Amino acid sequence: MKNSIRKSAIATLAAGTLLFSGVAASTAAFAQDQVPASVVDANLNGGKGTIHLVKYDDSKGTKDPTGTKDQFADGQTPNPIKGIEFTLTPITAAPGIPSVADAVKSNDKIKELGALQASAAEAALKGGAGWTFGNPIVQKTGENGEINFADLPLGVYLLQETNSKAADGKTYKGAAASLVYLPTTNPKDQSSWIKSEKGDQYAVWVYPKNSLENNVKAVEDTNKEVGETVTYTISATVPTSKKLKTPFEGREYDLNEFGFWDNLDEKLQLLDAKSVKVSVGTDAQKTQLEPADFASTIYKGDGKGVKEDGKDVKATGQELVVALTNSGLDKVAKAKIADSTVKVYLEFSPKVMASGLAPNQAIVVKNNGEGKGTTIPEPTNPPENPDKGEKTNTVVTGWGKIEITKTDGDKKKLKGAEFEVYGITKGGKKEKISINGQDKWTTPDSGVVTIDGLHANNLEDFTKTGESISNDQYKSYELLETKAPVVDGVQYELNRTPIPFTIEVKELTKVTTEETWTLDAQGNVVSKDSAVKTTVESVSTPASDKTLSLFKATEVVNIPVKPKLPLTGGAGIAAFGILGLAVIGGGLYAAKRNEKKNA
């Protein structure tokens, strides 16, 4: 009776301590060094046991977690993941527990053992009073996604997933740290401990079921000039989710945070939140969430937001924070359970404000758990530590300019010349260009006019470059002079044919390599490659630098109108008539002379 009461107490205290990526393992229990099955036999296998770990993705179902080997639902088999790194660290002492090894074999520290938390242990690794640890064991999952941590002294272990990139290069959602108790109560009868299949040692099976971590940012910018809007879409995979045994504050599922943080390049500006949309589903079929399912806030690029009377208010700017509310979290979790391939999609459309290269990267924060989570990023404040989440890839868009110098051939600058620009698509279509509502440009007194804000010809939607651009993308531009200048009473000739030119991103291979571009904690663009960084900085270089990426300079020469034969009046026509008569008279004289010779 005494053992039964003690095991019931420790099962209650230790419940939920064996957690991994939101998957609760079995209740832990401990007993004194006695022979009966209900107590711990400290001499079994020399007092050592094994923690079996199998890492698999979330494409297959499981039964409720038990810590035993029969973990999978009927007819289901796991998809193991090779190459994921885990670190197992023995906890030798904890606050109120001078010896964990002794505590797991006695009744003295049942309450203290049950109160241990993985988060506290993980934090204590960096230094925490009352905590001590043994040497960590680091291993990677093998061909079958397995790691067998064998010959472990009985005790409590901190299990961490320390590298979530698999052998095939895919990255998975890192599992939360958890505590594993060795031994663990057998859930089948609650009167013994889980043992190996042979029964010769204590054992526990841990099955972290993790989702593929894949957060992708894309841009739609085909032929979008400065002054127009481009559309960004972020697609993010969803962590493995399950229904809560007890609903918590209106939530029925364990997905407790999902948010996006995007600090846009300074050449872009999100004017309002009308374009912000959040959907759940697959690339083929998405369902848009209701406005009540998420909260979005736009901040100025200083990261401080805008306040009126001490309250945060929405503002035009570069910084966008979006977070799912409780209703949105539950909708996404429910969809995830029904289809493991679903994602969350964030879409928004900022306005292009200036020319240059605009690299952009977002951060996605998501997690799950049994209780209330802290939504990061918060709907009303930018995250203090954006590195907490997972970064997307970086996408780059480019806009440039053409500088036109109008001269008379002798380097005299001419004002009053009027130009238009046409885009020539890869499919051969010609379209007139308008930038911020302007479709004609006239040279001023300096004779120099700049047409600023033309989309790059060799980079479309970031994924299409060079020959791979679509038939709708402008492969080149044409400059057309539509009005010739008149300067100091002198009329100049029109240019008779269009002048072709291109706006191109230099070092395109480097620009389209994800590793080239990163964001620092403040959202500023930094580069690992100095050559590419020069390209980024060059967009602010004075226009006189003709080597500038995304910059084109051309000199358009006009000549004065040539004098034409006058058609009416004046000395000119009289002289022409006299000259004509002289020619005619000379002809008659020659004819008479020939007649006399022949007579």
The sign one gets for the Cα dihedral 167, 169, 171, 172 is: negative
Q: Using one digit for the tens of pLDDT, what is the confidence trace for 484-539?
A: 999 988 999 898 889 999 998 877 777 777 555 555 544 455 555 444 433 333 33
Q: Cα–chain-centroid distance for residue 61? A: 29
The pLDDT value given to residue 558: 76
Per-residue pLDDT tens digits for 59-81: 554 455 567 776 554 455 667 88
- Tell me, what DSSP letter sits at residue 317? B
Q: What is the pLDDT of residues 486-495, one digit of tens each?
A: 998 899 989 8
**For residue 288, pLDDT beyond 80:** yes
Q: Is it the case that residue 18 has pLDDT exceeding 70?
A: no
Q: Supply the pLDDT for residue 599.
A: 53
Q: What is the pLDDT of residue 386?
A: 54
CB 255 within 8 A of CB 332: yes
Q: Which residue has the higher pLDDT, 332 or 25?
A: 332
* Mean pLDDT, residues 361-376 taken together: 64
In this structure, the number of other CB atoms found within 10 A of the CB of residue 231 comes to 15
pLDDT at 25 over 80: no
Distances (CA, A) of 342 to 79, 209, 346: 18, 16, 13
Name the pairing type of β-strands 551-557 and 395-407.
Answer: parallel
Question: Does 352 have pLDDT greater than 70?
Answer: yes
Check residue 70 and give its pLDDT.
Answer: 64
Q: Average pLDDT of 340-368? A: 89
pLDDT band of residue 31 (cuts 50, 70, 90) is very low
Cα distance between residue 567 and residue 351, in whole Å: 57
Phi, psi (degrees; rounded to nearest 5) at 557: -100, 135
Element (H, E) at 126: none
Nearest one of 85, 106, 353 to 230, comparing CA atoms: 353
- pLDDT, one tens digit per residue, over 471-481 is 999 999 999 99
Greatest mean pLDDT range, 102-106, 207-211, 434-438? 434-438
- CA 67 to the chain's CA centroid: 37
Backbone angles phi, psi at 159, to 5 degrees: -110, 125
Contact 436, 354 (CB under 8 A): no
On the 0-12 / 13-18 / 19+ scale of CB atoms within 10 A, 297 is buried
Closest Cα partner for 399 from 460, 442, 349? 460
Please check the confidence at residue 232 and state whether its pLDDT lies above 90: yes
Q: Sorting pLDDT into bands at 50, 70 and 90, what band is 13?
A: very low
Residue 351: which of 451, 244, 435 has the closest Cα?
A: 435
In the predicted model, what is the mean pLDDT of the chain? 77
Q: Output the six-digit token pair for 36.
A: 């009966």
- The answer to whether residue 299 scores a pLDDT higher than 80 is no
Q: Which two tokens stand for residue 486?
A: 């008149």
